[in-house]
Amino acid sequence: MGLPWSKCGFEKEHVIPAGVVHASVREVLGASDTPNTAVMNKSVEIELAHLPASVLEQFRAHPRALMVARIVDELTLHAWVTKPEHIKLKDSGLGARMPADWTSENDKFARYKKCEIEVRSI
């Protein structure tokens, strides 16, 4: 079966650092127009139909939890980088944050591009 990626000189990391995801969640939940309660409409019910009934019920009861789940789902992606690439990210100041001009509408791989780290799908 081979060696695990971590034993091949690679390090697993969040493409968008967890702290950035956390800040995005806090920003949305802190917005004044964020609903405390809402009724899930039919299109949302259809979108989430694959989830267990108990999870759907939680989202119906706590719409803000659905907002959090969507943000985390959208912004969470893992990558494997070599140790030298990991050091390059850290040394550039992008080890735990995104470039200063980055927003969630931008490329998820912006910090790798800024550090000239090639991104490949595996």
pLDDT in tens, the chain (122 residues): 677 777 888 899 999 999 999 999 998 888 756 555 445 567 777 778 888 989 888 888 888 888 888 899 999 999 999 999 999 999 999 999 999 999 888 899 999 999 999 998 87
What is the number of other CB atoms lying within 10 angstroms of the CB of residue 81?
A: 20
pLDDT reported for residue 99:
96
By the 8 A CB rule, do 58 and 113 touch?
no
In sequence order, what are the beta bridge partners of 11?
A: 81
DSSP category for residue 92: T
* Cα separation, 28 vs 14, whole angstroms: 20
Angle at the Cα of 72 (from 105 to 35), degrees rounded to 5? 85
Three-state DSSP class for residue 14: strand
